[in-house]
Amino acid sequence: MSEKTYPMTLAEKEQLEQELEELKLVRRPEVIERIKIARSYGDLSENSEYEAAKDEQAFVEGQISSIETKIRYAEIVDSDAVAKNEVAIGKTVIVREVGTSDEDTYSIVGAAGADVFAGKISNESPIAQALIGKKTGDKVVIESPAGSYQVEIVKVKKTK
């Protein structure tokens, strides 16, 4: 059975590596120190500080494990190898809903780099899956929980 790969740009991988370093070198030691201090309070069975620190330790270790897996199975995508006007990971696409003047801008990233609030959508999202491989001028139907709608790809550019 092969492991899942995580498509991402080189910049996304570097960001994950920085986050991993922060977790290992800063957050982990902070949590260990909190556990030591909480232990010094005595009875661990009724020590809420100790329980909170142990919970945070489990969370941090889970994040470390998740990021290590994503880095280990990273598949670096070279957006330069794709046509300039074709939607792919590492590209930013401007779309306009057909029949309106409303435009939306999305940066297509690997799942590890998704941040909806920053306009970065995962390559696994329904919008990205509908757009990937399409080119400027193409009309695309996007399925959403609220129903389907059609957009036209206005512009595709490399994400900075």
In tens digits, what is the pLDDT along the chain, a chain of 160 residues? Answer: 457 888 888 888 999 999 999 999 999 999 999 999 888 877 777 778 888 999 999 999 999 999 999 999 998 888 777 788 899 998 999 999 998 988 999 999 988 788 888 889 999 899 999 999 999 999 999 988 888 889 999 999 988 7
CB 31 within 8 A of CB 25: no
CB 158 within 8 A of CB 90: yes
Using the CB atoms, write b or e for 102-113: b if 16+ within 10 Å. Answer: eeeebbbbbbbb
pLDDT at position 71:
93
pLDDT at position 82:
78
Domain ranges of the chain: 6-76, 79-158
Cα–Cα distance between 18 and 12 in angstroms, integer? Answer: 10
CB 70 within 8 A of CB 112: yes
pLDDT at position 2:
57
Fold of the CATH domain 6-76: Helix Hairpins (1.10.287)
Considering the domain delimited by 79-158, tell me its CATH architecture. Answer: Roll (3.10)
